[in-house]
């Protein structure tokens, strides 16, 4: 990975964000970010308001493990066509449209089931959304990598991340605002109809990504040598992406994969309990929605732009380090908020800091993962990296509810911040490794 970046003026840097492929990636990032929040974030607010126990909510976050295993079917998305649809639209776009249809259908199913009356059907619909979302990620990551050269990947990642984060705000603050507005006045307590209306609107929101896919341009397909038999096909499709990466990095692959596995651990583990925390602290849906909608949007845009721009100017690894430190530090602020009590101004400060740090870290991390892929295996290798990224954090997050029940919110948030310490160490080691590799390649 070449860490030495091309020096650009700030005007040239901004122009990259206005190019059509970058703007398209912004909308597709919105389509990718919408379902994740609806099955892992906002859902926990809904479940807690419906009276579901924190421990159960924590265990249900294991739905997110679907994202951790998407590498299993990524080779199929990378190579297999969908009958008729692939011939009509191309390999990447056909899989994306298929996945988006699964997401929309699953969201409708979630809307139609009341978790207070029947939790299991909703869980199955949430799994359908998660599977469709993971499949969309596989195809979209490949399309992003194949649609721009290496020098523009940071801008593409920032645009993707901006759309992604805005979708998470729409699927978080937007859902809370819609649900609060749809409540029947004069009726106290939990109202399923309000949440139903909110989730149906989220299903309709998937049309933004679906329309963009229909009118997008399929990237130029990489010509691959035809397989002469099933064994050769399996070797090139299933084994090739793994063997190519390990042959390229050898023993250093362990360091790279370790960094990928833990980089988002602080954010992911903390995030599962964020919405139950707001409910238990007495914040209303309108309060949380208003703070996230205004300050969350501004700080997300700022964080994604800063992360992408700095990555192009000073290098991805330096921004990775900055993001790791800021992500851990923002969790400490949540611990402070837990002891501070119900205070909207304090909530504004904490959510703003959290969104800014997350935007910076995510933009740099996506650019880093993109730089590790080989164009011949872009979908599969990126799916492997992003699966590893979520597997350990999602597993640990399943125990977040029981940890809070036993030790309290303040201790929980401090513990998630401490999870960031090994991340900082691994970023430092990986930075030294990449610098050494780049030096050897330049000396050849």
Which one, of 118, 169, 136, lies nearest residue 66 by Cα? 136
Q: Which two tokens stand for residue 422?
A: 């090994």
In the prediction, which pLDDT does 2 show? 45
Rounded-to-integer distance, Cα 77 and Cα 380, Å? 8
In the prediction, which pLDDT does 128 show? 96
Alpha helices, H only, 183-272: 192-205, 207-215, 230-234, 240-249, 252-262, 265-272
The continuous run of DSSP H or E covering 143 comes out as: helix 119-146
Cβ neighbours around 197 below 10 Å, total: 18
Rounded-to-integer distance, Cα 192 and Cα 291, Å? 24
Rounded-to-integer distance, Cα 338 and Cα 410, Å? 6
Q: Are 387 and 69 in contact (CB under 8 A)?
A: yes
Query: What DSSP state is assigned to residue 182?
Result: H
Q: Which two tokens stand for residue 388?
A: 């590893």
Rounded-to-integer distance, Cα 20 and Cα 436, Å? 36
In the prediction, which pLDDT does 138 show? 86
127, 178, 191 from 197: Cα distances, Å? 20, 7, 11
In the prediction, which pLDDT does 206 show? 95
Q: In tens digits, what is the pLDDT along the chain, a chain of 444 residues?
A: 444 444 555 555 556 666 767 788 888 999 999 998 899 778 988 998 888 888 988 888 889 888 878 878 877 887 788 888 888 888 888 999 999 999 999 999 999 999 998 899 999 999 999 999 999 988 888 787 777 655 566 677 778 878 887 888 889 888 988 998 888 877 767 899 999 999 999 999 999 999 999 888 887 665 555 556 666 666 666 677 778 888 888 888 889 889 988 998 988 889 888 888 988 888 888 888 888 767 877 887 788 788 878 887 788 889 889 989 999 999 999 999 998 888 899 999 998 998 899 888 888 888 888 788 776 776 677 777 877 888 888 889 889 989 999 999 999 999 999 999 999 999 999 888 877 776 665 555
Which one, of 114, 317, 120, lies nearest residue 199 by Cα? 114
- Name residue, tokens 């419906």: 50
CA dihedral 107, 108, 112, 117 (to 10 degrees): -20
* Longest CA–CA separation in the chain, Å: 75
265-272 and 378-397 are packed helices; what angle lies between their axes, rounded to 10 degrees?
A: 50
| Start-to-end C-alpha separation, the chain | 15
Rounded-to-integer distance, Cα 399 and Cα 84, Å? 44
């Amino acid at each position: 990975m070449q860490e030495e970046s091309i020096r650009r003026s700030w005007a040239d840097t901004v122009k990259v964000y206005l190019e059509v492929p970058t703007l398209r990636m912004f909308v597709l990032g919105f389509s990718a970010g919408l379902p994740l929040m609806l099955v892992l974030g906002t859902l926990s607010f809904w479940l807690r308001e419906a009276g579901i126990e924190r421990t159960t909510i924590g265990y249900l976050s294991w739905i997110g493990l679907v994202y951790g295993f998407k590498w299993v079917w990524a080779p199929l998305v990378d190579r297999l066509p969908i009958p008729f649809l692939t011939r009509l639209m191309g390999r990447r776009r056909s899989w994306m449209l298929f996945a988006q249809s699964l997401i929309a259908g699953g969201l409708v199913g979630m809307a139609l089931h009341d978790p207070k009356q029947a939790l299991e059907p909703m869980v199955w619909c949430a799994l359908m959304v998660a599977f469709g979302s993971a499949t969309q990620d596989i195809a979209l990551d490949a399309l992003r990598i194949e649609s721009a050269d290496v020098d523009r990947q940071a801008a593409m990642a920032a645009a993707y991340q901006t759309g992604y984060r805005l979708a998470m705000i729409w699927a978080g603050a937007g859902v809370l605002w819609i649900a609060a507005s749809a409540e029947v006045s004069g009726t106290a307590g939990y109202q399923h109809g309000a949440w139903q209306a909110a989730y149906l609107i989220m299903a309709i929101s998937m049309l933004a990504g679906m329309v963009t896919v229909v009118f997008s341009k399929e990237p130029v397909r990489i010509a691959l040598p035809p397989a002469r038999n099933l064994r050769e096909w399996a070797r090139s499709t299933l084994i090739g992406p793994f063997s190519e990466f390990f042959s390229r990095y050898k023993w250093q692959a362990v360091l790279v994969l370790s960094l990928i596995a833990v980089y988002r651990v602080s954010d992911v583990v903390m995030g599962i309990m964020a919405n139950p925390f707001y409910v238990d602290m007495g914040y209303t849906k309108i309060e949380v929605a208003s703070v996230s909608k205004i300050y969350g949007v501004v700080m997300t845009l700022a964080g994604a732009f800063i992360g992408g721009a700095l990555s192009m100017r000073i290098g991805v690894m330096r921004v990775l380090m900055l993001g790791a430190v800021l992500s851990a530090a923002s969790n400490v602020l949540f611990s402070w908020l837990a002891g501070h009590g119900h205070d909207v101004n304090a909530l504004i400060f904490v959510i703003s800091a959290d969104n800014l740090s997350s935007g910076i870290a995510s933009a740099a991390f996506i650019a880093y993962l993109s730089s590790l892929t080989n164009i011949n295996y872009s979908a599969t290798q990126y799916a492997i990296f992003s699966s590893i990224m979520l597997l350990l954090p999602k597993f640990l997050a399943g125990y977040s509810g029981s940890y809070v029940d036993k030790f309290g919110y303040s201790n929980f948030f401090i513990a998630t911040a401490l999870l960031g310490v090994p991340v900082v160490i691994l970023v430092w080691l990986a930075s030294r490794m990449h610098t050494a590799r780049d030096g050897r390649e330049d000396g050849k």
